[in-house]
Structure 1
């Protein structure tokens, strides 16, 4: 029965690792995507130190028998290795060189029916200059509708579209006139942040303070007219996929053998 529990728990973890690899492969062409690697941890284990004397004499292994309960998927850690640069020469395409995340805001209606801003972090710099629906003017926004914000959390807006220039230090200018100061924000441990889709992480909160009020600035620089490609390595993910398939087959066979042993034991008991 112990082998049945071990193999069953291992199958659950292998299935989750397969889902993680499938997600990496699905985002091989997603701008700014960071792959995740699956790591496993051992479940509760027991050590039998008081064994029979006859058993100790017939065993070559050290004293103490360790009995495990299987393994589970402990963590999917984000690989923050930067992706390769893809030059597009599009003024609204931005790439982060080095450390840092763009901060974007999404307007939503809370439980009281009031409109609020939810802040998110992303490495995807494929922005568009779009007309705002709730305010007059234009703003830099993601393809899914989140607005790029400045160092204090306000939207980067323009009265009319023109020649957009963004310096490596984040100075945003429209037709040569400075419009806003763009900042990159630092995240020490992105694995602690919640993924909310669209290649974005939910920005941390500190009471009623907005995210820009307490987050630190990153030291990265901004490159205009370029995008950061995904850091997914297709060959590595395919190799990982083969390993996961072998692990799944091994544990499936272990369950089948355990079932046969239980069947033999039941047939012997009934005689």
Structure 2
């Protein structure tokens, strides 16, 4: 039965690793996407000490016979490696060079139209568009899912009128038609692996409605670990060759454990037939 448990646990982890690789490949062309790397860890092992012969005195390994319980998917780590640059020359396209996230926000309303909360999200996707926002009373830079870009105080950047000339410096200073606005905020996350992915290339910023981002996070531009590049986008850091190699390894491991289950079933069948005689 132990062999069945070991192979079953391994196949469960392998299936999760396959899902992770499939997700990476499906986001090969997603702007700002960061790949996730699956790693396995060993389950608890048992020690069988009831051996008929005493071990040799010069044995280097622990006494007894070690019997493992298989492996499981221990962690899926976020790879924060920089993606390649895609030059677009669109003034509202922004690329983060370094370690940092845009903070974007959206107001959630009830059935009567009253604002009940403000959702805060992190993203590396810098493909923003300008559109009029009724809640803010002006034009804002927003994501494809409708979240508004904020400044270094966590407040949405609002332009009073349509602009023709937008200039954004490396340190996030935004100038529109000669008028200077608050700088765009980039925020450092100490442990990106703890960010909860919400889909749409967004992560939960874990900020209460109306909370200032500097109460929990550090400004990445002030720390000198990130800059902005206007007119460019960061492509996904997924390496197709590496992911396809990983896919082949996962399939081989799945086949091996599947075969182990079949062999274990045959052995148990032979043992049952011997006992019945």
> TM class, shorter-chain normalised?
over 0.9
Q: Out of 216, 224, 236, which is 1:214 matched to?
A: 216
Match for residue 100 of structure 1?
100
Q: Is the 8 A contact 2:4 2:264 kept in 1?
A: yes
Q: Runs of at least 4 residues of structure 1 off by over 6 A?
A: 59-62
Match for residue 177 of structure 1?
179
Match for residue 191 of structure 2?
189
Q: Out of 166, 169, 173, which is 1:167 matched to?
A: 169
Q: Secondary structure of 2:29's partner?
A: coil
List aligned pairs for 1:255-270, cutoff 5 A.
255-270=261-276
List aligned pairs for 1:1-271, cutoff 5 A.
1-53=1-53, 63-109=63-109, 114-162=115-163, 163-205=165-207, 209-218=211-220, 219-271=225-277
Q: Secondary structure of 2:25's partner?
A: helix
In 1: Cα distance, 2:102 partner to 2:232 partner: 15
In 1: Cα distance, 2:75 partner to 2:170 partner: 35
TM-score normalized by the length of structure 2: 0.91
Bigger CA drift: 248-257 or 132-141?
132-141
Bigger CA drift: 128-137 or 96-105?
128-137
Q: Secondary structure of 1:47's partner?
A: strand
In 2: Cα distance, 1:42 partner to 1:206 partner: 38
TM-score normalized by the length of structure 1: 0.92
Mark the runs of 5 or more structure 1 residues left unpaired by the alignment: none
Q: Secondary structure of 2:118's partner?
A: strand
Count residues with an aligned counterpart: 270
Mark the runs of 5 or more structure 2 residues left unpaired by the alignment: none
Distance 1:214 1:109, change over 3 A: same
Q: CA RMSD in A?
A: 2.4
